[in-house]
Amino acid sequence: MTTTSTAPAEVRVVARIFVQPGMEDDFIAAFTASLLEPSRAEIGCLLYELHQDVQRPSEFVMFERWASQAALDSHFDTPHFKAIPETVGKFFAGKPELFVLKHVA
């Protein structure tokens, strides 16, 4: 017997962020203050975590899980997301790499 679901598919996001060397602590503080808690409080946010590479401390990886593409789209439209260039973008050492993923196996 095969069942199909009409529930929206969960969406995952992985972002690789490159920070100017020596600015890691400032980036973490700004990220935590401006993005972490507001994003975690959004409807549809299932996971929102920042990780630092232990061998390359100026490289960070975000892991995100959203209940649906609509929830992620709403996140992209929030004031705190739109303020990234002013709040944390000043610490970037290049353009972040963003991967929007679906679970397949």
Q: Tell me the per-residue pLDDT of 51-70, one tens digit each, with 9 for 90 and over.
A: 999 999 999 999 999 999 99
Has residue 12 been placed in a domain?
Answer: no
The answer to whether position 68 is within a domain reads yes
Task: Please indicate, yes or no, whether the overall pTM of this predicted structure exceeds 0.85.
Answer: yes
44 is a domain residue:
yes
pLDDT at 24: 98
Range of the domain at 94: 32-101
Whether pLDDT at 4 is above 70: no
Average pLDDT over every residue of 22-47: 96
The pLDDT mean for the chain works out to: 93
Note whether residue 27 is domain-resident.
no
CA distance between the termini of the chain: 20
Residue 16 tokens, joined: 């690789």
CATH of the domain at 55: 3.30.70.100
Total domain count, the chain? 1
Q: Does a structural domain hold residue 63?
A: yes
Radius of gyration of the chain (CA): 15
